[in-house]
Structure 1
Amino acid sequence: MLGLKSLFPPADPWPLKFRYHDFGVRCYNTLRCQVIYNNYCFTRSFLYEPSGPPIRTDWKDSWSAGHGIGNEFASPVEADWISLDGTRHQARIDLAELFKDRLVRHNVSKDDIPEGWLAAWRVDPLGVDILMEVNDRTINVYMKALIATKEPQIPGNPRSTGRRDLILVWTHTY
């Protein structure tokens, strides 16, 4: 039976917490790369061929997750890759543990967020993108979330009232 506390959202949604997440992966500078999460292989094109370097230096600017996961974290992410030096690596990244607090990582202060947007978040928390990069011997896990802002982020553009910063949450070099 649900308690009364679970029927009512918190009065103040700060710090922001997310309800669901989407997931995406990029492999760079590997001889072979396979990443599986939620019973889905995110790296079919790199299973048996080198991934190469990023095509552009600003590739992270437009990076977003392409696979909807939902409210719960699936089993840990399984990464199996060969770095440029020919060494095989395997890693299990437990996103449920990494994001157990469900905090949204962002660079916007509470004072810069519109009150109405915060009130809406209190009732229906949005989702976030969790992004994983395998690059040679390093795995990076990032978060991206669209956070509304009171002021435009691009001067003169009234449609730029939001930030979607890429925040590094975890990294490990193997």
Structure 2
Amino acid sequence: MIHKPLRTLTAATSLALAACAHSSPLLDGASMTNASGKTVTDRQPVKEWPLRFDSHKFSVFTYDTYGARVVYAGQLQIDQDDDELKRSSASYGPDYQRSWSGIHGMIRNFPAPAKVSWRSKDGQTHEAEIDFGEIFKDERVRHNVPRDEVADMANGEYRHEPSIILEINDRTIRVYMRAFIPTKDFQIPGNPYSDARDEVVLVETYTY
């Protein structure tokens, strides 16, 4: 039986900033080849705003749960031991989301809803279906960079693949997006590898 969650929309975001460890191939001085095989070097302001995506990466992270199991995009994404209570998010500190990123990539928008089952810390069983196609139906990239701060890109096209991240935390499921957004200015003064923002943005919260 699938429980009906109490659904809460939120615009809250993580303020964590991750400096990019390498330059994007779209931002360096080298030429690149487009889908038709034509070499392009023309960097322009982004043509489409808001930024949109047609494929994504995906990962699941669990805290204070037993036996979490998630099936999405035709794959078993996670299948954890039913006898082991996962550590709490608090035990990792306030920046526990810092290392999150999508692992399963090149998922075209959008497969059928993710099927999720787990037991909360109190031992109660839960099941849910999370419909990313509905959550992200406008295919808009969630990020915090104003248009006038986004760096010019090859042919003015945004080609990065954002991550959709599912957090299962005791009785709460949260859906996030993490997207690499090249910026005109360094985010850390003097650091040439900080020419982007890569933040975890909270999109949806469900409580069970």
TM-score above 0.5, yes or no: yes
Instruction: Give the conservation status (yes or no) of the 8 Å contact 2:66–2:80.
Output: no
- Give the % identical residues: 40
Aligned residues: 161
Cα RMSD (Å): 1.7
Alignment match of 2:193 (pick from 148, 159, 170) = 159
Counterpart position of 1:98? 135
Q: Which runs of 4+ in 1 moved over 4 A?
A: none
Counterpart position of 1:56? 92
Alignment match of 1:120 (pick from 157, 163, 171) = 157
* TM-score normalised per structure 2: 0.72
- Partner-residue secondary structure (3-state), 2:92: coil
**Any stretches of 5+ residues in structure 2 without a counterpart?**
1-45
**Any stretches of 5+ residues in structure 1 without a counterpart?**
1-10
- Partner-residue secondary structure (3-state), 2:119: strand
- Partner-residue secondary structure (3-state), 1:97: helix
Query: What amino acid does structure 1 have at the position aligned with 2:121?
Result: L
Alignment match of 1:35 (pick from 59, 70, 93) = 70
Counterpart position of 1:111? 148
Distance 1:42 1:169, change over 3 A: same
Q: Relative to total residues, which structure has the larger helix share, 1 or 2?
A: 1
Deviation at 1:115, TM superposition (A): 2.8
Distance 1:153 1:31, change over 3 A: same
- Counterpart CA distance in 2 for 1:144 and 1:96 is 17
Counterpart position of 2:166? 132
Deviation at 1:59, TM superposition (A): 2.4
Deviation at 1:118, TM superposition (A): 7.5
Query: What amino acid does structure 2 have at the position aligned with 1:42?
Result: Q
Instruction: Give the conservation status (yes or no) of the 8 Å contact 2:67–2:80.
Output: no
Instruction: Give the conservation status (yes or no) of the 8 Å contact 2:121–2:170.
Output: yes
Does 2:70 align with 1:70?
A: no
Alignment match of 1:24 (pick from 59, 63, 86) = 59
Instruction: Give the conservation status (yes or no) of the 8 Å contact 1:31–1:83.
Output: yes
Counterpart position of 2:41? none
